[in-house]
Structure 1
Amino acid sequence: MDTMRERFASTASRLLDEDPRLAVVLAVIGRDGFREAERRHPHRVIDVGIREQLLVGAGGGLALAGMRPIVHTFASFLVERPFEQVKLDFGHQGVGGVLVSAGASYDSPSAGFTHMSPGDVALLDTLDGWTVHVPGHPDEAEALLRRSAKGDDRVYVRLSLQTNERPLPVTGTGFLTVREGRHGAVVAVGPMLDNVLAATEGLDTTVLYATTVRPFDGSALRRAVGDTGAAEAVIVEPYLAGTSTAAATEALADVPHRVLGLGVGRNELRKYGELSDHLAAHGLDARSLRERVSGFLTGSV
């Protein structure tokens, strides 16, 4: 199976053939995946070099000229480093585009902390009007990218090496009910689904699957926890823990509730290790999630 990032390159290359409004903007990283597309569309595959602020600024400029830019690099270089350009060149100018990241929170531990971005979604939460997609499988990434390319809004698509075994239907809106239960709800975001399903096996709880986290589907969460008793919800996200707890709390504001946000901790792990080591260290592997989720829902933590 190809990776989400490989699927992104092949899909975006086909989209360039289909829609003359689209342009892909790169900062060296990812250019190899667009060699053929660059030969076919030399003026719509643009490599600005290792200049991340220019990367986003060029995307904003293309949008002002009526194009639909697809801007790509690692999350830390796409959201964190050029955040001022994201804020001003897209948001302040009132134009749309598609930011597609790679690297996720710690996909490449050996690259060090410079290539890790657990705070990207939380940072975008400080801005208005961004749709955020977090696919859990390459097929989902393709579907969400195709949907994003057609619009005029501001979209962030967060790709990862971590994937679920099987894709699920995605619409770009709302949460999908994967398992129904009577006690509480667990929202699994993107590539967290397989671990959440393993962790909640045998528990009488509802599991919701979120590939679009902004806007947050508060209505689905509200329905899942029910109308009686104290509502209990767990949000399992592959980025900074607690990123969506405020949204969940707002959705449950009219009922007594408890919300637990699980995700990447704020502590920096200074040993490289592998992706699986970082998942375990942040308590996002199936065994750790089982302890944390079951303990919360049974009231033992």
Structure 2
Amino acid sequence: MDTMRERFASTASRLLDEDPRLAVVLADIGADGFRRAAERHPDRVVNVGIREQLLVGVGGGLALAGLRPVLHTFASFLIERPFEQVKLDFGHQGTGGVLVSAGGSYDWPAGGFTHMAPGDVALLDTLDGWTVHVPGHPDEAEVLLRHACAAGDDRVYVRLSAQGNSRSLPVTGSGFTAVRHGRPGAPVVVAVGPLLDAVLAATSGLDATVLYAATVRPFDGAALRAAAGGTAEAVLVEPYLAGTSTAAASEALADVPHRILGLGTARAELRRYGTTAEHLAAHGLDPRSLRERITAFTGRAG
């Protein structure tokens, strides 16, 4: 099976053939995947080199000219390094585009902290009007990318990961999907993107409702509220900074007695390279750790 990044390159290349309004902007990263597309559309596949601020600036300029820009590089270089350009060239200018990242929170541990972006979604939360997709499978990545590219002039962030679930689920570009139902009053666990398999393994045999989120912004407070019922214990399991969505969940449950546990990447930096699996375990996001943390919070052992 191909990876999410490979699916992104093949899908975006086809979309360039289908939609004359689409343009892809790269900063060296991923350029090989668009070599043939660049030959067919040299005016709509732009590689600015290792200049991430320019990457976003060019994308914003293309949007002002009426095109639908798709920007791609590692998350740390797409959101964190050129954040001022994201804020001004898209938000302040009122333009739209599709930002597609790779690398996630720790997909390439050997790259060190410069290539990790656990705070990318939290950072985008400081800006208005961004839709955020976090697919958990290459098939979902393709559907969400197509949805993003066809979304008029909206501002969309698609967070790709080397991690993934064993199978895809139907995704529509909005809302959460219930994949496991507990009894009334059971805790609700929201699994985001590539962490669904780990959450399902961690909650096996537990009385819990599991919601799957491949689109996290806008936050589907209505689905959380419906699953929670009159009182709520909610656990959010996110592949980025722990607690990123707890405020949104708390707002959705504002008039319902509730407790919320936000699980995700810890704030403390891991200064050893290791492997992705070791990073998952160190952040408490492997199935065994998740089960321990969820049962300790809810007081309900399986």
Alignment TM-score, normalising by the size of structure 1: 0.98
Work out the CA distance in 2 between the residues paired with 1:4 and 1:36: 19
User: Does 2:46 match 1:46?
Assistant: yes
Provide the residue aligned with 1:187 in structure 2.
190
Quote how far apart the aligned CAs of 1:17 are: 0.3
C-alpha separation in 2, matches of 1:125 and 1:134:
14
- Give, in angstroms, the shift of residue 297 of structure 1: 1.4
**How big is each residue's C-alpha offset from its partner over 1:97-130, in whole Å with a ceiling of 9 and x where there is no partner?**
0000000000000011000000000000000000
Name the residue aligned to 1:35: 35
Question: Displacement, 1:298?
Answer: 1.5
Please give the residue correspondences for 1:206-221 in structure 2 after superposition, counting only pairs within 5 Å: 206-221=209-224
Query: In 1, distance between residues paired with 2:300 and 2:278?
Result: 28
**Partners of 2:71 and 2:32 in 1: how far apart?**
15
Aligned runs of 1:120-269 on 2, under 5 Å? 120-151=120-151, 152-182=153-183, 183-227=186-230, 230-269=231-270
Q: Secondary structure at the match of 2:72?
A: strand
User: SS of the residue aligned with 1:171?
Assistant: coil
The CA deviation at 1:148 is: 0.4
Q: In the alignment, which residue of structure 1 is the partner of 2:276?
A: 275
CA distance in structure 2 between the aligned counterparts of 1:296 and 1:57, rounded to whole angstroms: 45
Query: Which runs of structure 1 show a deviation greater than 3 angstroms over 4 or more consecutive aligned residues?
Result: none
What is the aligned residue count? 298
CA distance in 2, matches of 1:45, 1:75: 20
Q: Note the C-alpha offset of 1:299.
A: 6.7
- RMSD, aligned CA: 0.8
Write the letter of the residue equivalent to 1:196.
Answer: V
1:298 aligns with 299
> 2 CA distance for matches of 1:176 and 1:298?
25
Unaligned runs of 5+ in 2: none
Normalization by structure 2: what TM-score? 0.98
Q: Matches of 1:36 and 1:45 in 2, distance apart?
A: 10
Q: Secondary structure at 1:122's aligned position in 2?
A: helix
Secondary structure (helix, strand or coil) at the match of 1:191 reads helix
Structure 1: which 5+ runs fail to align?
none
d(CA) in 1 for partners of 2:23 and 2:71?
8
Give the match's secondary structure for 2:204: coil
- Aligned counterparts of 2:300 and 2:176: Cα–Cα separation in 1: 26
Separation in structure 1 between the aligned mates of residue 298 and residue 45 of structure 2, nearest angstrom: 50
Structure 2 CA distance, aligned partners of 1:94 and 1:42?
27
